[in-house]
Amino acid sequence: MRDIAEAAIIIVVMNGLGFLWAFTRKTESLTDLIYSLSFLVVAAWGYFRLTEVDWGQGMVFGMVTLWAGRLGIYLFRRIHAMGKDDRFDEMRESLTSLGGFWFFQALTILIVSLPFIFYLNRGLPPENLTLTYVGTGIWLVGFVLETVADFQKFSFKQNPANKGKFMRGGLWDVVQHPNYLGEMLVWIGVFIACLPGIRGPEWIGILSPLWVIVILIFVSGIPMLQESWSEKYGDDPEFQKHQKNTSKLIPYIY
């Protein structure tokens, strides 16, 4: 598992420096950017060391690069438009709380990266890439869904006429959290795309999509956002109607 150890060192160094910057400067201006770039650097570290690259590895590297680049740019623009991230209001002054956040972020990056760490760090002979094509298709659906949802939300928030209003319109009227659904599909797709290169104990890589799903549904995704929405818009009849009639992630199912 040398590949995991080397990836972990990269992730710890990047996020350790990010933590020092955030704590000393009392800012989260680089937090999300470092999150995205960590995936990109780990993927590039594996890909560019390969002496022979097959189509599957090239596709997986491309998927991670596009996802990380798009998300990093979006989140960087968003934090600079917002000025600050309310999630960190109670963390900025606490070494342990902020350190705990950065530790969890680094752990998440490592776990989510497992499939492509394995796939991009070995020379593989040409194989049947059917699963890679299937995974790429799922990834593409998730990537487009997340990109469109983020664009719609950012545009809504940037309109002065919508100040203080609950997000409505577009994909956000279809499900409550279209961006999270897109994120889950992205990592389900990446895992499936990497299956041709996963062997034996490397099946631990299945933790990648499972971790994303559990975190977004049960931990820091939907629960925290629902709580924040309830505090801000709980008395708004339109918000109450939207919450009652709109599925969280999958129309008519959940």
pTM as predicted: 0.93
Higher-confidence residue of 19 and 83: namely: 19
For residues 73-83, give the mean pLDDT.
83
Question: Could you tell me if 164 and 229 are in contact, meaning their C-beta atoms sit under 8 angstroms apart?
Answer: no
pLDDT, tens digit (0-9, with 9 covering 90-100), for 9-65: 999 999 999 999 988 888 888 899 999 999 999 999 999 988 888 889 999 999 999
* pLDDT for residue 92 is more than 80: no
User: How far, in Å, CA of 211 to CA of 205, rounded?
Assistant: 10
pLDDT-derived band at 96 (thresholds 50, 70, 90) equals confident
> Residue 111: which residues within 8 A CB-CB, separation 6 or more?
207, 208, 211
Distance (Å) of CA 95 to CA 20, 22, 33, 99, 147: 10, 10, 21, 6, 34
pLDDT, tens digit (0-9, with 9 covering 90-100), for 124-145: 655 688 999 999 999 999 999 9
